[in-house]
Amino acid sequence: MLSKIRFYSTSLIVLLTYMHLKGLLQVSDFDLRLLRVFRTVVQVGSFSAAEGVLGITRSAISLHMSDLEKRLGGIRLCQRGRAGFALTEEGRQVLRASETLMAAVENFRSEVNQLHSSLRGDLNIGLMNSLISQPHMHITSALRTLRQNSDAVRVHISMSTPGEIERGLLEGRLHMGVLPETNALSGLEYRTLYAEPYFLYCSWEHPLFRVAQQGAVSSADLRAAAAIAPAYRMSSEAISQHQDLNCVATASDREGIAFLILTGEYIGFLPEHVAARWVEKGQMRALEPQQRQFTIPLSLAMRKDRRAHAIVDYFLSALDAVAQS
């Protein structure tokens, strides 16, 4: 245990030295509280929005930010005023360093908590947008089992793009994430959860909606229509399908693709479960579903070199039990 304490103490010193901080000879609990306030303000985008999250007044948040800037040797972390809230370059560097610091503290706390028989600590999960409509609720069921086992576990879910989830895993900010297993990264391990079938859709306001209703849509019709390409990595099968379309717009996630389809100006691929709500209302229609389709597996990803973590291990056991049932 003493070697662990020395490791994390050394990590803090290295971080602070790298940041060239002046006058900060040691990190106290007060400094950690100030850094958590700072990270919350950045996450929600303003002092006023952080009031409800932190449960303190805007003036108190402003005072905490000023205290943190003083503790960091007078570094200006952000610009705040009528123009809005924006991080300075130094603020972005401190934010990155604080995320590394918090991850190290959480790893230390998790290892200490494993000395106790009961589960306690944090579980950080990154999920893709629009996953809630997936009919096989493996993640939801496993989280329910975890909560029923221990109310001392704090679950933190962040909705992100696949690329952001991968970065969070590799940097140690996330314990696990759910994302498409299209091009596996060497530093991550994957457990397949779902197989998502994708189809090509248009909205009821698009000219091809009525064409599809009356009969087959030709390949020429599809190539002439404005289409959407995902701005994230795709499988070779998905790339092949998109290459045959006139992709003139991009979206970072499935929700963005749905927004563009519903304008009536674009066609695009969506998972069947995501489009189902609009299909049932007659607001979307699949185009040539026998030919224009592909399947992508969704997987639970974790770092290969992750440390032992009792909460993660219990969650994985619960997930396996759900999948088997």
pLDDT digits (tens, 9 = 90+) for 286-319: 999 999 999 998 899 999 988 878 899 999 999 8
Q: Write the CB contacts of 64 (distance below 8 Å, at least 6 apart in sequence).
A: 33, 34, 37, 38, 56
pLDDT digits (tens, 9 = 90+) for 121-144: 899 999 987 777 777 778 889 999
Tell me the pLDDT of the chain averaged across its residues: 84
Would you say the pTM of this structure is higher than 0.95?
Answer: no
Average pLDDT, integer, range 1-30: 51
Average pLDDT, integer, range 169-194: 88
113: enclosing H helix or E strand: helix 89-113
For the cut 60, the answer to whether the pLDDT of residue 116 exceeds it is no
CA distance linking residue 150 with residue 155, whole number of Å: 11
pLDDT more than 70, % of the chain:
88
- Least confident span in 4-18, 174-188, 311-325: 4-18
Predicted pLDDT of residue 245: 95
For the cut 60, the answer to whether the pLDDT of residue 236 exceeds it is yes
Predicted pLDDT of residue 256: 93
**What's the pLDDT band for 113 if we cut at 50, 70, 90?**
low
For the cut 70, the answer to whether the pLDDT of residue 205 exceeds it is yes
Backbone angles phi, psi at 157, to 5 degrees: -110, 130
CA distance linking residue 172 with residue 167, whole number of Å: 8
**What's the pLDDT band for 15 if we cut at 50, 70, 90?**
very low
Short-list 137, 292, 277, 295, CA closest to 225: 292
301 neighbors 188 (Cβ within 8 angstroms): yes
CA distance linking residue 215 with residue 222, whole number of Å: 14
Q: Write the CB contacts of 253 (distance below 8 Å, at least 6 apart in sequence).
A: 128, 129, 130, 161, 230, 232
pLDDT digits (tens, 9 = 90+) for 74-101: 888 888 766 677 888 998 898 888 888 8
Short-list 123, 120, 179, CA closest to 298: 179
For the cut 70, the answer to whether the pLDDT of residue 8 exceeds it is no
Predicted pLDDT of residue 115: 52
Predicted pLDDT of residue 117: 54
Which residue carries 């200490």 as its tokens? 112
Domains and CATH numbers, the chain: 1-113 (1.10.10.10), 194-298 (3.40.190.290)
Which residue carries 């096989």 as its tokens? 136
Predicted pLDDT of residue 6: 46
